[in-house]
Amino acid sequence: MKKILVINGPNLNLLGVREPSIYGARTYADLVDFIHAHAKKRGVFAAVCQSNSEGELVTVIQRARGRYDGIVINPAAYTHTSVALLDALKAVGIPAVEVHLSDVRAREDFRQVSYVRAACVKTIMGRGFDGYADAIDALCGLCGLEDA
């Protein structure tokens, strides 16, 4: 069974509490359950992690090398600042999909830049939890993750 690593960045642990008008009322635990349920439906294994620390996220990406077939990443605020996450994704060369719960295109100017995007095969935004399902589907389709 193919393996997907879902990586969540800072403040996503506060889903349900943080700005519910933007991010919704469901919690981070709900998101983890949602991802596992969708992965099961698609016949892939998904590990889900979250960190508030940029360095830890870099380490998580590095450790995925040789262990995971695809990465789904919501780098949260580090999307807009982190060359380190871009470099880590490029270094490991694992197919990656960028996800955002909110439609960042319709938000502040400082959210219009994504450093990680250059290392991702696709970006999904504004679909809430469903964006993570779309990302898993995209990896299954683009990279043939269901086949082996």
CA-based torsion, 76, 77, 81, 85: positive or negative: negative
Binding segment for ligand DQA (CB under 6 A), chosen from 38-46, 65-73, 86-94, 100-108, is: 100-108
Per-residue contact flags (x/-) with ligand DQA for residues 44 to 83, judged by CB under 6 A: ------------------------------x-xx-x----
Smallest gap from residue 66 Cβ to ligand DQA (A): 27
Q: Is 6 in the site for ligand DQA (CB under 6 A)?
A: no
Q: Own/partner pairs for 121-126, CB < 8 Å, 24+ apart?
A: 121/95, 121/96, 121/97, 122/97, 122/98, 123/97, 123/98, 123/99, 124/97, 124/98, 124/99, 124/100, 125/99, 125/100, 125/101, 126/100, 126/101, 126/102
111 binding ligand DQA? (CB under 6 A): yes
Nearer to ligand DQA, 116 or 139 (CB): 116
- Return the half-sphere exposure (C-beta side, CA atoms, 13 A cut-off) of residue 83: 0
The residue within the footprint of ligand DQA, chosen from 45, 102, 130, 143 (CB under 6 A), is 102
Candidate residues 104, 116, 136, 145; the one interacting with ligand DQA per rule CB under 6 A: 104
Q: Is 100 annotated as catalytic?
A: yes
Which residue in the block uniquely carries the two structure tokens 């807009």?
80
Backbone angles phi, psi at 8, to 5 degrees: -120, 135
- As annotated, the active-site residues are 23, 100
Q: Which residues bind ligand DQA (CB under 6 A)?
A: 11, 74, 76-77, 79, 100-102, 104, 111
